[in-house]
Structures are given as structure tokens and as C-alpha cells.
């Protein structure tokens, strides 16, 4: 299977599992999935490196879909931390298995 065909299969997998509209959303999920503790919202935004308006839109869509959880800090309600939900973690586990299958096929 060519790299192009593999990438198309991966794109279809990403859309099916996460119902994401943009690669920034997948990047957010992968970053959060690689962490054992919640991330500060501003730290995540810096790692994604997209505009603030786009970041907020993609971030809120992931929260609305139940893949991430946004938690206000008790000490400062304006600051928030972000973590994967159980649903988000399960989706990433399925993604990892199917990703490896697609990557190593043929």
C-alpha cells in the first residue's frame, strides 16, 4: 500500500473515531493522550501553535463531543486545565490499534 493510500485510510479513521474537522484537533488529542496529568489550557495552545480564535473553536468542539474535559482551576476560575475524558482515552486506544494495523499493512 502506498504512503498516500495509508494516509487516506488514516484520515478516514480520524474522522470516523473523533469526528474532527481539523488536524489541530487531532494534535490536541494526541498531545493530551501522551500526558499523564491534565495540561494547562495556555500550555496546550502554545504547543498547538494556531491562532487563538481557531484554538478556542477546535477546543470547544472537542469538549462538546465529550473527548476532552475543561476544568476551571479552583484558585482562578479564568484559568483552565484540560484532560482527556474516558471516551477520549478509549478513542485514542482504538486509534492506536487501527493506526498500527494500517501502517504495517502490506
Query: pTM of whole model > 0.95?
Result: no
Higher pLDDT, 1 or 49: 49
Which set of grid coordinates corresponds to residue 6? 495509508
pLDDT (tens digit per residue) in 51-101: 888 899 999 999 999 999 999 988 988 889 999 999 999 999 999 999 888
pLDDT value at position 52? 85
pLDDT (tens digit per residue) in 2-40: 777 888 888 888 888 888 777 889 889 999 999 989 999
pLDDT value at position 83? 95
pLDDT value at position 106? 65
Exposure pattern of 64-90 as b/e (b: 16+ CB <10 Å)?
A: ebebbbeeeeeeeeeebbbbbbeebee
pLDDT value at position 1? 66
pLDDT value at position 57? 92
Q: What is the mean pLDDT of the chain?
A: 89
Amino acid at each position: 500500500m502506498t504512503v498516500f493510500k495509508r494516509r487516506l485510510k488514516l484520515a478516514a479513521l480520524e474522522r470516523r473515531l473523533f469526528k474532527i474537522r481539523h488536524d489541530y484537533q487531532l494534535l490536541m488529542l494526541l498531545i493530551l493522550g501522551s500526558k499523564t496529568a491534565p495540561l494547562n489550557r495556555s500550555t496546550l495552545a502554545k504547543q498547538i501553535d494556531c491562532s487563538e480564535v481557531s484554538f478556542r473553536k477546535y477546543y470547544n468542539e472537542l469538549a462538546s463531543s465529550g473527548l476532552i474535559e475543561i476544568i476551571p482551576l479552583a484558585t482562578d476560575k479564568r484559568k483552565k486545565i484540560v484532560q482527556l475524558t474516558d471516551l477520549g482515552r478509549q478513542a485514542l486506544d482504538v486509534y492506536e490499534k487501527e493506526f498500527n494495523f494500517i501502517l504495517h499493512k502490506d
